[in-house]
């Protein structure tokens, strides 16, 4: 699998970091994990294309993770820019259909993709759930953030990538991420903010999950002023990478 960090930041505007989004190429499949503001343009800057999205996974419904959902749905209606004919899947926690209906209440048919283009699967918010597409398996599990928060485990070709979205300490996440080849985990601030992990907590959680490689991401501006690796190293001794926009990894 090939992984690219499209946005390593948050909802706070930053010249250095875009809002959350991660692309994963698994054989013929392109999976987009979250769709923060500016993602559609960033895809082009990294030689990616919204037409190629086979599965769109939304970790939760906070604006910094779904900010480009409205322009994406809007774009699917225009063949000058969106030429995909094959349907794509959207995976999100239960409640997404209601969110989509509310958005259509504001913008009407402009947020309704052409018939048959988008297939939605709502995932269980309180237990592990499963989605399969040919030889791609995506497992989801609840995390400790808000009611619609999910983590995703992608499995393809004997390899695994886990993306946690936003989370505080979650035993369910340790179970979902157990033994993963790559664990993409938030470390939002060097100080504790409820609903999020510090670098030290992220390191301990990754150690408990016994993952091979850890990528820290979702950095608020204070993270750029401290030694995040040193904080994480207090509890994690595996391969450690700090996310930057455009970072590419092979799994």
CA geometry: angle 59, 218, 190, nearest 5 deg: 130
Which stretches within the chain are classed as H helix? 39-45, 63-66, 69-75, 96-107, 171-177, 199-209, 228-233
Cβ–Cβ < 8 Å for 98, 15: no
Domain ranges in the chain? 2-246
> What pTM was estimated for this model as a whole?
0.97
Q: Give, for all 251 residues of the chain, the pLDDT tens digit.
A: 999 999 999 999 999 999 999 999 999 999 999 999 999 999 999 999 999 999 999 999 999 999 999 999 999 999 888 999 999 999 999 999 999 999 999 999 999 999 999 999 999 999 999 999 999 999 999 999 999 999 999 999 999 999 999 999 999 999 999 999 999 999 999 999 999 999 999 999 999 999 999 999 999 999 999 999 999 999 999 999 999 999 999 99
| CATH hierarchy code of domain 2-246 | 3.60.15.10
């Amino acid at each position: 699998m090939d992984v690219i960090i499209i946005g390593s930041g948050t909802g706070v505007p930053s010249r250095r970091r875009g809002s959350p989004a991660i692309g994963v190429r698994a054989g013929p499949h392109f999976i987009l994990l979250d769709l923060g503001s500016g993602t559609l343009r960033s895809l082009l800057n990294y030689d990616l294309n919204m037409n190629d999205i086979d599965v769109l996974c939304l970790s939760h419904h906070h604006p910094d993770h779904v900010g480009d959902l409205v322009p994406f749905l809007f774009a699917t209606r225009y063949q000058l820019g969106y030429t995909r004919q094959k349907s794509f899947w959207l995976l999100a926690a239960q409640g997404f259909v209601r969110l989509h209906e509310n958005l259509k209440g504001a913008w009407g048919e402009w947020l309704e993709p052409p018939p048959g283009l988008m297939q939605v699967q709502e995932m269980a918010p309180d237990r592990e759930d499963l989605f399969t597409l040919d030889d791609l398996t995506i497992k989801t599990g609840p995390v400790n953030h808000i009611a619609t928060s999910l983590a995703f485990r992608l499995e393809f070709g004997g390899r695994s990538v886990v993306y946690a979205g936003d989370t505080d300490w979650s035993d369910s996440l340790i179970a979902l991420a157990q033994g993963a080849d790559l664990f993409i985990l938030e470390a939002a601030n060097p100080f504790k903010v409820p609903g999020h992990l510090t670098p030290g907590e992220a390191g301990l959680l990754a150690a408990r999950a016994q993952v091979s490689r850890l990528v820290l991401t979702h950095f608020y501006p204070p993270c750029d002023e401290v030694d995040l690796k040193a904080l994480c190293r207090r509890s994690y001794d595996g391969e450690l990478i700090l996310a930057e926009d455009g970072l590419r990894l092979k799994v």
